[in-house]
Amino acid sequence: MRESIHKYFQVGTISWMSYPNRDVLEVIQKVASDDFFDAIEIPTKMDDETRAKAAKLLAESHLKVCCGAQPRLLGPKLNPNDVDEEGRKQAEATLIEAIDQAEELGAKGIAFLAGKWAPETKDLAYEQLLKTTRAVCDYAATKGMNVELEVFDFDMDKAALIGPAPYAAKFAADMRTTHNNFGLMVDLSHFPTTYETSKFVVQTLRPYITHFHIGNAVVKEGCEAYGDQHPRFGFPNSANDTAELVDFFTVLKEEGFFNAENPYVLSFEVKPWGDENDEVVVANTKRVINRAWALVED
């Protein structure tokens, strides 16, 4: 593409993945000082003083602020589709708290993921997830905010209830019958873990997608970084690199997601593996994005 990627997307990073061992305020300042980035995705869980300082930095930055509530579910192993009602309510409560904290940080919504599931209770888990998501969307709507569910693998690593893509489409359709502030977040790094292609995922979920992630994954069993680990592009035995990103961008172009008037957030979710240098891994990702974008046909 001859035109800049920044015309059509707000390019961001998932801050806690790019810089996993740094202080949150240091990371926000680092991203906010880099004009490659138009957006930043930050966790909501921080103490009140840190959140106030973060909000001030973000207000100065002219960055699009997105808040991910995934860590506050994954850390304490809370499950928004828990078949135990008390467990489900705990997940709902932390997501509603995340809405308040995201608002303080200047975000217009939150993203989260479904919890683990078991074959014998899958239908009940689905209904439990609808109950949680509707409650969170109800609360978000009072603040003019949105809620996004990220589509994950269903049997490899996170083993989340939502996806694969057709199941995610069913869930999103059910949610949209009652809530227009709900959408789906899709992640290129998850496509190999759900055994799907960019074209299949994007075409299947097209009416419901509100947010994009890109990244890499290793899906060869027995190999280092196997599963949903988001290694850098070019990692040994990994599934995604420049060619796959070109294909992803091409599909987004064909399906009408290049929107200069109201650009979608497109963030990379890539983290250093082992003792890799976080700044080098971030630069690696920028190079791959720039090269892949340049190879997309006008």
Give me the residue spans of the domains in the chain. Answer: 5-295
Query: In which band, very low, low, confident or very high, does the pLDDT at 197 lie, cut at 50, 70 and 90?
Result: very high
For residue range 78-127, what is the model confidence (pLDDT) as tens digits?
Answer: 999 999 999 999 999 999 999 999 999 999 999 999 999 999 999 999 99
Residue 56: strand, helix, or coil: helix
Angle at 172 between CA 104 and CA 241, to 5 degrees: 80
Mean pLDDT of 206-226: 97
Burial category of 260 from C-beta neighbours within 10 Å (exposed 0-12, middle 13-18, buried 19 and up): exposed
Q: pTM of the entire structure? A: 0.95
Residue 212 CB partners (closer than 8 Å, separation 6+): 9, 185, 186, 187, 188, 252, 257, 264, 265, 266, 267
Q: In angstroms, rounded to a whole number, what is the distance separating the alpha carbons of residues 274 and 293?
A: 29
Mean pLDDT of the chain: 97
Which residue is associated with the tokens 């001030």? Answer: 56
Over residues 197-204, mean pLDDT: 98
Q: What is the pLDDT of residue 144?
A: 98
pLDDT at 140: 98
Q: For position 65, what pLDDT does the model report?
A: 98
CATH annotation of 5-295? 3.20.20.150
The tens digit of pLDDT for each residue in 233-249 reads 999 999 999 999 999 99
Cα distance from N-terminal residue to C-terminal residue, the chain = 5
- Quote the tokens at residue 199: 């074209």
Residue listed under structure tokens 């694969």? 164
